[in-house]
Chains A and B, each alone.
Chain A
Amino acid sequence: MYKRIEVFYKDELPDPLGNAVRSEIAAFGFPGVTSVRVRQVYIIFGNVGENDLDTIAKKLLVDTITQHYQISDFELRILDFGHHVVEISRKPGVMDPVEQSVLKALRDIGISIDGVKTAKKYLIDGNMSKEAIGSIATRILANTKIEEVFIYPETPNYDHGTIRYSFKKETVPLLHADNKQLEEISARGQLSLNLSEMRAIQNYYKLIKRDPTDVELETIAQTWSEHCVHKTFKGIIEFNGEKIDNLLQNTIMKATKELKKPWCVSVFKDNAGIVRYDDQYNICFKVETHNHPSAIEPYGGANTGVGGVIRDIMGTGLGGKPILNTDVFCFGIPDTPQDKIPKGVWHPKRIFKGVVAGVRDYGNRMGIPTANGAIFFDDRYIGNPLVFCGTVGLIPKNKCQKEARPGDLIVVAGGRTGRDGIHGATFSSAELHEQSEQISGGAVQIGNAITEKALLDVLLQARDRGLYNCITDCGAGGLSSAVGEMGQDLGALVNLERVPLKYEGLSYTEIWISEAQERMVLAVPPEKEKDLLELFKSENVEATIIGRFTQDKVLRLFYNAHLVGEIEMDFLHKGIPRLERKATWHRPTFEEPSLPDKEDFGADLKKILSSWNICSKEWVIRQYDHEVQGSSVLKPLQGLCNDGPGDACVITPRLGSGKGIIVSNGMNPRYGDIDPYHMASSAIDEALRQIIAVGGSLEQVALLDNFCWGNTNKPDRLGSLVMAAQACYDIAIAYGTPFISGKDSLNNEFITDKETIVIPPTLLISAVAIMEDVRNAVSMDIKEPGSLVYIIGLTRPELGGSHYYYIHGYKGNNVPKVDAVLGRRIMNALSLAASKKLIRSCHDCSEGGLAVAAAEMAFSGGYGMALNLSAVATEGSICRNDTLLFSESNTRFVVEVRPEHQVQFEGIVKDIPYGLLGKVIREPVFTIYGLDNKPVVNESIYDLKEAWQAPLRW
């Protein structure tokens, strides 16, 4: 039994959401809509009288200045007459954060109800067909995977009843299954286990002479998923006749081991890598991917991606405080025509908007600045977007180690457990296809940031009071992974019926593997139990004892005194058979364009500035609170009008200390099509040169790797992965920058009825550097007319994979390479110059090369430039202007220096390649003279800026 309260804006006031929806609908191709008004509907469950409903509305739900309300029964629907009416609400069981807040608020005003849920009711005016309204409802307003849609006169019904669960211990008949049956069991259960793994499990159960229970098999599947154990990276790979036993240890981790940096505190073992910061604190950093959930529900996928990586930091050591978020996305092309969108896929623009909103709503609510990021577009991400979420944390030096002890209580804290997110770990380890959205809808979740924020607040206090011995996050695999990991060397006993649930009806297996958000698992010594529970209660955060750690190295699961699972930890964690795979790679040959070396490249420059990858991302950045915590020193948007594209961000996590960190990222999948080795090298170089560009140094830089690849069961995809990993080793060693953490997400392919769309091999390199004095930071906007403009570094004819070729429809072959020996000298020289405050502005040359870097500096600073290409330092002789303008050779910088510092600056760079290109001029004109001294670019900086800003001015 329920009642409805509808809240809506007074007619004379604008309805901002309604207006936004109207523009969305028009942009989607339904121009006939004249007006949209939105009503917020609260569905109040329980026996609540009219008076109480009035009180609820007046005291809580309505802003009397702007809104009216109606307590509506369905007779009132006559009022909707004349509009098209669509009502949308989340399906039962899907997180609705408003619910908890409203229940809390009603307790504050002394009214008790059974429950509440919300819906949005859209009153749409305009001459539209019924079909059009249907399309608008399901393709623009709702995501039917998680939401119910009612198009009036269909009557919404929110009496869903409750699902009861009656206990029955389930076993899976495995002992006598043949290979085909084993594969069927894996497929039917969405376990993502291959045949050799299923057979290993079968052999284990043959030894102990019984069939597994369902929860045991699920536990093994979660623990052995690609997502959790990285079996490809740790397997045996035969590449070009050579056997690589554990790619991870032979490349990325090997670099760290050989570099032996004393400031690496914890690498590749905890939830995040930890490096030294100052005398009291360390810095931890983790970047995760949340690709498949974001493909199916962009908002929820990104939302929980952010929430998840924040929990990684909360679960690093004894808990870090999150101080910065970085988010990098790869999407399909935003203006792809609707008829080119494969079935079962959202339009890339909708994915883009949904993902940004998801990151925004979680990061902003958590009070963590999102101050770094990047967005990359390629049509091959259309069915499988990539969402990388990273968090940096600050952690006291004496809180970096943790260990659960026998007898410690297992406490689950934070959010409650529901049926959401079942099979996330195994789902993320498989390919997406047209029906993924139906089969794996349960893997999609919505986060509740405030639950996580309250949990964070109380956890940091518990940490400082020493109330627990160990902590980890509940991420992929839920309690199964968290408890399984923490108790790996001990053993654990869990009473599943004690886990607090959002609603009834969950089986013991669902409780164990649910990936419901905002939960952490703690190991609490019995003598601290009381203090811990009191502390959590004092801030309304739920914490519940669900079991204890033992010492017999067995995991035992009970449900109301029934033993439902019993597995040896050794088998669970060490029983997985090694993968053996073959890898190959053959260099593809792309057509080499023969473009005319024109007299005027102004139009090309503007076209490159307008390309999706290079254009301004201000629309995204401004929606993120990038200044909360007050720590920002170099913000993502810089210059005269605070709108230029900064290279890396600089923050001071300890206010007033003067010391800071620099965070950057590098990625260029376009190079990977030509050569994955050089792509990976270039990504590292890019991340490092952004650090140098803002005034940092290579002194203490830690790297993170995130590999997103296609299906690595296929030898060519695996071959390119091997090459990229080998580049990571080579370049990290050459630059002296160790990796401290990483992650891989494989099987990023989308299968349609016609074809398989494989994402380009995508390696994101994230970097964090320590900056001793943030007042040495350098921004990218030019500052003063009369300054000298230099290019530092060597330009080579490297247009393969460049944006210049891209806008002309080519890939080419001559991909940029990295000379890290020279690169290191260049970077060290610039760091020295920055520390002596000789650099007025600096920008790294990346996509679009010298021309784009210099143009961005000019229009961000509000002045013109007069530059000459004959001054560019080149390898060999380059006789084409377009190569000099747009080559994307690595380790190059454009630098502004005051005339009075010329001698001093040139003294520092004299042994590395550099060229004095020209000057900053007061007139707002950007001119580049070609090799024959005639202008090849001559444009107003305002026109260049407009070209750069227009595409994403949404």
Chain B
Amino acid sequence: MLKPKVVIFRTAGTNCDCETQYAFERAGAKVDVMHINTLLANKNSLRDYQILTLPGGFTYGDDVSAGKILANQIKYHLAEEITTFINKKKLVLGICNGFQALAKAGFLPDFNMPDQEVTLTFNDSNKFEDQWVYLKVCSDKSVFIKNSDVSVIYLPIAHGEGKFITKDEAVLNRITMNRQVILRYVNERGEEAGYPWNPGGSVQCIAGISDPTGQVLGMMPHPERHIEPTQHPSWTRSGLKEWGDGFLIFKNAVQYAKANF
């Protein structure tokens, strides 16, 4: 396939749709930003796409809890379509609010499990924070990013509810053993560390996880905010690179879709 098609969901309070669209377009995809009402009215339209993305934002104000109301819309109205989508080897990416929704809808860490197993809860600091973080790529499981390609990347986070925790130790062990932990917060030397490097206080510094197939990725940091080299917070010191560190995630997804469809 020459030009894979990406659909980005949007609803009241979505706000990172434009830059996510830009990132996928730079990576060579055709992108439609679709209001969730449009999709609900015609669920079959999902079939036309190879990559589905839930972008960042504050869907429905993050009222009740971050991403929860969108998670319910997905869980109770789109579960079947999205499951089929994944079964057809297609890709799903949830960034920030999108990750929160995927986790709360039970699509991560494993959509075959009946109940919600992980969550993103309030930062230990009880504050929304915007800052840049170092992320260690910990696994080769994900289609989007592999530790064989790159070891540490630098991206911004901007959230108040980003502390990753699991239902219990068993879930944590399972996703760790299964290499589903894709990104961990680290310090500038690549070591796991506490605040402010692990900004919310996530268990085991977890910043992003995959499903068992490697086709679904949820991550709190914003790769779409580090595409252009001028987005780097200290490019005036270190000079301009060709691409920002986030680009790889979009490029890999589009390459995969080109190769497989």
Report which A residues bind B (CB closer than 8 A): 14, 16-17, 19-20, 59-61, 63-66, 97-98, 101-102, 104-105, 108-109, 360, 364-367, 448-451, 453-454, 457, 538-540, 621-630, 632-635, 637-640, 642, 652, 655-656, 774-775, 777-779, 781, 783, 841, 861
Which of B15, B121, B165, B167: most chain A CB closer than 10 A? B15
Main SS of the interface on chain B? Answer: mixed
Tell me the bound Cα distance from A538 to B36 in angstroms: 10
Q: Mark B3-27, 1 if CB is under 8 A from A, else 0.
A: 0000000101111101100100010
> Which chain B residue has the least Cβ–Cβ distance from A695?
B236
Q: Does any Cβ of A come within 8 Å of B234's Cβ?
A: yes
Given contacts A109-B76, A628-B158, contact A66 B165 (CB under 8 A): yes
Bound: A538/B41 CA distance, A = 10
Known: A365-B61, A783-B237. A108 touches B126 (CB 8 A): no
- Which residues of B (88-131) have their CB < 8 Å from a CB of A? 104, 115-119, 121-131
Contact of B174 with A by CB under 8 A:
no
Minimum CB–CB distance for A836 against chain B, Å: 16
CB-defined contacts of B224 to chain A, threshold 8 Å: 630
User: Pick the contact of A102 from B37, B63, B125, B227 — CB < 8 Å?
Assistant: B63
Question: Shortest distance in angstroms between A328's beta carbon and chain B's nearest beta carbon?
Answer: 19
Q: A105 and B119: CB pair below 8 A?
A: no
Cβ-defined contact, A454 with B130, below 8 A:
no
Contacts of B56 in A (CB 8 A): 628
Nearest A residue (CB) for B26: A656
CB-contacts of B22-74 with A (<8 A): 22, 26, 35, 37-38, 56-58, 60-65, 68-69, 72-73
Q: How far is the CB of A141 from chain B (nearest CB, A)?
A: 15
* Nearest CB in chain B: distance from A9 CB, A: 9
Across-interface contacts of B241 in A (CB, < 8 A): none
Q: Which residues of A contact B58 (CB under 8 A)?
A: 364-365, 367, 449-450
Can you give 20 A-B contacts (C-beta < 8 A)?
A16-B123, A63-B68, A64-B167, A102-B64, A105-B69, A105-B72, A108-B76, A108-B77, A360-B128, A364-B128, A449-B61, A450-B61, A450-B63, A621-B130, A639-B234, A640-B234, A642-B131, A642-B132, A655-B228, A777-B236
Which residues in B have some Cβ–Cβ distance to A below 8 Å? 10, 12-16, 18-19, 22, 26, 35, 37-38, 56-58, 60-65, 68-69, 72-73, 76-77, 104, 115-119, 121-132, 156, 158, 165-167, 222, 224-225, 227-228, 230-231, 233-234, 236-237, 240
| Number of A-B residue pairs having CB atoms within 8 Å of each other in the complex | 183
- A538 contacts B121, C-beta separation under 8 Å: no
Which of B64, B121, B124, B233 is the one whose CB lies under 8 Å from A637?
A: B233
Closest beta carbon of chain A to B191's beta carbon, Å? 17
Chain B nearest CB: distance from A687 CB in Å? 21
- How far apart are A221's CB and chain B's nearest CB, in angstroms? 34
**Nearest CB of A to B43, in Å:** 15
B115 A64 Cβ-Cβ under 8 A:
yes
A17 to B124, CA, bound (A): 9
**Which B residues are CB-close (under 8 A) to A97?**
61, 63
How many Å lie between the Cα of A774 and that of B236 in the bound state?
Answer: 11
| B64 partner, pick from A98, A450, A457, A630, beta carbons under 8 A | A98
- How far, in whole Å, are A66 and B37 apart by their CA atoms in the complex? 30
Contact B13 A16 (CB under 8 A): no
What's the nearest-Cβ distance from chain B to residue A838, in Å? 14
Residue of B nearest to A655 (CB): B22
In the bound complex, do residue B126 and residue A19 qualify as a contact, i.e. CB atoms below 8 Å apart?
A: yes
Q: Is the CB of B37 within 8 A of A540?
A: yes
Contact B60 A450 (CB under 8 A): yes
Most buried by A among B63, B77, B115, B125: B63
Nearest-CB residue, chain B, relative to A118? B63
Contacts of B126 in A (CB 8 A): 16-17, 19-20
How far, in angstroms, from A367 to B11 measured CA to CA in the complex? Answer: 13
B122, B132, B222, most chain A CB atoms within 10 A? B122
Contacting pair B12 A66 (CB below 8 A)? no
Q: Are B10 and A457 in contact (CB under 8 A)?
A: yes
For the complex, what is the distance from the CA of A777 to the CA of B240, rounded to whole Å?
12
Asked if B234 contacts A539 (CB within 8 A), the reply is no
Bound form: Cα–Cα A451–B122 in Å: 24
Whole-angstrom distance from the CB of B187 to the nearest CB of chain A?
A: 12
- Alpha-carbon distance A167/B43, docked complex (angstroms): 48
CA distance A454 to B15 in the complex (A): 10
CA distance A554 to B233 in the complex (A): 56
Decide yes or no: A98 and B61 within 8 Å by CB, A625-B130, A635-B233 being known contacts: yes
Those 6 A-B pairs whose CB atoms lie nearest each other, nearest first? A367-B15, A630-B19, A101-B63, A16-B126, A65-B119, A454-B12
A residues near B26, Cβ cutoff 8 Å: 656
Query: A59 with B72: in contact, given A625-B130, A632-B231, A652-B230 (CB under 8 Å)?
Result: yes
Say whether B129 contacts A623, CB under 8 Å.
yes
With most chain B CB atoms within 10 A of its CB, the pick from A625, A656, A777 is A625
CB <8 Å contact, A629 and B115: no
Q: How far is the CA of A878 from the CA of B176 in the complex (A)?
A: 68
Q: Given A59-B72, A364-B128, A639-B234, A628–B64 Cβ distance below 8 Å?
A: no
Q: Which residue of A lies closest to B199 (CB)?
A: A622
**Could you say which residues of chain B place their CB within 8 Å of the CB of A14?**
124
Interchain CB contact under 8 A, B240 and A775: yes
With both chains docked as a complex, state the minimum distance between the C-beta of B135 and any C-beta of chain A, in angstroms.
Answer: 16
In the complex, what distance in Å separates the CA atom of A19 from the CA atom of B126?
8
Q: How far is the CB of B224 from chain A (nearest CB, A)?
A: 6
Measured CA separation A28–B35 after assembly (Å): 46
When distances are taken between beta carbons in the complex, the residues of chain B under 8 Å from A101 are: 60-61, 63-64, 69
A780 to B243, CA, bound (A): 24
Contact call A63/B121, Cβ cutoff below 8 A: yes
Residues A65 and B116 in contact, CB atoms below 8 Å apart: yes
Query: Which residue of the partner chain B has the closest CB to A784?
Result: B237
**Considering the chains assembled together, what is the distance between the CA atoms of A686 and B230 in angstroms?**
26
Given the contacts A628-B15, A630-B227, A105 and B234 also touching, CB distance less than 8 Å: no
Given known A-B contacts A60-B64, A65-B116, A630-B228, A625 and B121 have beta carbons under 8 A apart: no
| A-side contacts of B72, CB under 8 Å | 59-60, 105, 108-109
In the complex, residue of chain B having the shortest beta-carbon distance to the beta carbon of A781: B237
- Of chain A, the residue at the smallest CB distance from B118 is A65
Contact A16 B122 (CB under 8 A): yes
Known interface pairs A101-B60, A101-B69, A449-B61; A367-B234 also in contact (CB < 8 Å): no
Closest-CB distance, B78 to chain A (whole angstroms): 11
Residues of B near A637 (CB, < 8 A) are 233
A638-B233 contact in complex given A448-B61, A453-B12, C-beta closer than 8 Å = yes
- Chain B residues near A634 (CB, 8 Å)? 236
Beta-carbon contact of A633 and B18 below 8 Å: no
- Once bound together, how far apart are the Cα atoms of A20 and B15, in whole Å? 28
Asked if B228 and A656 sit within 8 Å, CB to CB, the answer is yes
| B165 and chain A: residue at smallest CB distance | A65
> When the two chains form their complex, are residues B22 and A630 in contact, meaning their CB atoms are under 8 A apart?
yes
Q: Are A625 and B60 in contact (CB under 8 A)?
A: no
Q: Which residue of B lies closest to A658 (CB)?
A: B230
Asked if A65 contacts B234 (CB within 8 A), the reply is no
| Set of chain A residues within 8 Å of B156, measured between Cβ atoms | 627
Report B-chain residues with C-beta under 8 Å of the C-beta of A640: 234, 237
In Å, the complex CA distance between A539 and B13 comes to 12
**Bound-complex Cα distance A280 to B123 (A):** 42
Shortest beta-carbon distance from A895 to chain B in Å: 14
Contact call B64/A623, Cβ cutoff below 8 A = no
Is A624 touching B12 in the complex (CB atoms < 8 A)?
no
Q: Which residue of A lies closest to B104 (CB)?
A: A63
In this complex, what residue of A is CB-closest to B17? A367
Residues of chain A within 8 A (CB-CB) of B18 are 629-630, 655
Q: How far is the CB of A294 from chain B (nearest CB, A)?
A: 20
Q: B68 contacts A60, CB within 8 Å?
A: yes
- Bound state CA distance, A635 and B13, in angstroms? 24
Query: In chain B, what residue has the closest Cβ to A455?
Result: B12
A365 to B16 CA separation, bound complex (whole angstroms): 11
Interface centre among A364, A627, A640 (most CB of B within 10 A): A627
- How far is it, in angstroms, between the C-alpha of A861 and the C-alpha of B165 when the chains are bound? 36
- Cα A364 to Cα B12 with chains together (Å): 14
Q: Given the complex of chains A and B, what is the CA–CA distance between A778 and B228 in angstroms?
A: 17
